[in-house]
Chain A
Amino acid sequence: MSLFTEPIGLSHFLVVGAVLFVCGVICMATKRNVLGVLMGIELVLNGANLNFVAFGSSVLRPAGTEGIGMDGQMIALFVIVLAAAEAAVALAIALSYYHAHATVDVDRGDELKG
């Protein structure tokens, strides 16, 4: 198996990130539970974060090529912090939504439909 012997490259990480991202999107698109949607968002953010980290990593690319360096980790760090904050706000919204609709089904929240 070549995967076990070949060195891991940037593309591998990107593929994992893509999987996480797509899973997050599908999760958002299919879950009717507000919290499920929130989890999808976390997945998407993690997929993106993985990409940032991979792009900033120096071990994953050929010698002599420059990545984005420290910026990747920096942005990823910000993303984690913001994701935590976002989770707090989103949960507050979810609670509020629950108070208003007595359910966490996002399909019920269609008062603003056209």
Chain B
Amino acid sequence: MDAINWHGCFFLLFAAVACGFAVAVVVAGNIVRMACCLVVSLAAVAGLFFLAGAEFLGAAQLMVYVGGTMVLLIFGVMLTARGPLVSMKTGGGQWVLALVIGVALFAVLLQAATSSSAWDGPRENNLVRHDPVQSEESVTQDAAGQLGLGLLGVREDKIRQENKVLRGGMSGYLLAFEIISVHLVVVLVGAAYLARARRRVQGSGVRTPSPESRTPIPE
């Protein structure tokens, strides 16, 4: 019996939580319960990020998703599901269809994920080399620093790359960063516009919105 690979154990734990609560999201009928399960699942994914050596990303996941997105979702739930929480049942046939497709997709993905032997994992001998990128030449040791440099246009991990083909392949993400920041502004303005309350709604069979529904979307 070998020593317990704690890395693997934690992975299993987080993976089980993430998968289990993801399935729970699927099978839950209540939207509030779904939201809770999703929070747990996403938090587990954040744990998996930590295990994969992306600490900054895991933190971002926790803060943005669990802290931000989920709050947003909950707000949405509360804004829309007024009155008795009507559960909208899905027909059995559609469940079967969705499951068939889901299982098939899963099978395909599983096959793809396990078909490459290079992805099976590091061998026993280099398990000790916990962090191969750690070296005295690296400007920053932490992932957050590297990400920040990457966003500013400097690919710290590529500087030391011997392979010319791989080195020339990528540059920084400054342009993408700028585009995304502008994009976010546009998106939020658009969201505010879409969610604004309208005084009058045209068309029949549509309930006139009550004044209290004109709640601005929280950021």
B-binding residues in A (CB < 8 A): 3-27, 29-36, 38-40, 42-43, 46, 49-50, 53-54, 56-63, 65-66, 69-74, 76-78, 80-89, 91-96, 98-102, 104-105, 107
Contacts of B207 in A (CB 8 A): 102
Q: How far is the CA of A39 from the CA of B76 in the complex (A)?
A: 11
* Number of chain B interface residues as a range: 35 or more
Contacts of A29 in B (CB 8 A): 94, 97-98, 101-102
Residues 19-47 (chain B) with a chain A CB within 8 angstroms: 19, 22-23, 25-26, 31, 34-35, 38, 41-42, 45
Does A73 contact B54, Cβ atoms closer than 8 Å? yes
Does B31 contact A43, Cβ atoms closer than 8 Å? no
Does A96 contact B80, Cβ atoms closer than 8 Å? no
Does A43 contact B41, Cβ atoms closer than 8 Å? yes
* Per-position binary interface string of chain B over residues 79-102, scored 1 when its CB falls under 8 Å from any chain A CB and 0 otherwise: 111000000111000110111011
Contact of B139 with A by CB under 8 A: no
Select one of A39, A42, A98 contacting B80, CB under 8 A. Answer: A98
* Per-position binary interface string of chain B over residues 115-146, scored 1 when its CB falls under 8 Å from any chain A CB and 0 otherwise: 01011111110110111110000000001001
Q: How far is the CA of A94 from the CA of B42 in the complex (A)?
A: 22
Select one of A4, A57, A83, A102 contacting B53, CB under 8 A. Answer: A57
Interface residue SS majority, chain A: helix
Q: How far is the CA of A15 from the CA of B188 in the complex (A)?
A: 34
Question: How far is the CB of A43 from the nearest CB of chain B, in Å?
Answer: 6
Q: How far is the CA of A87 from the CA of B170 in the complex (A)?
A: 29
Residues 186-219 (chain B) with a chain A CB within 8 angstroms: 187-188, 190-195, 197-198, 201, 203, 206-207, 209, 213, 217, 219
> Do A19 and B213 contact each other (CB < 8 Å), given the known contacts A7-B8, A63-B122, A80-B65?
no
Does A53 contact B52, Cβ atoms closer than 8 Å? yes
Select one of A50, A58, A84 contacting B48, CB under 8 A. Answer: A50
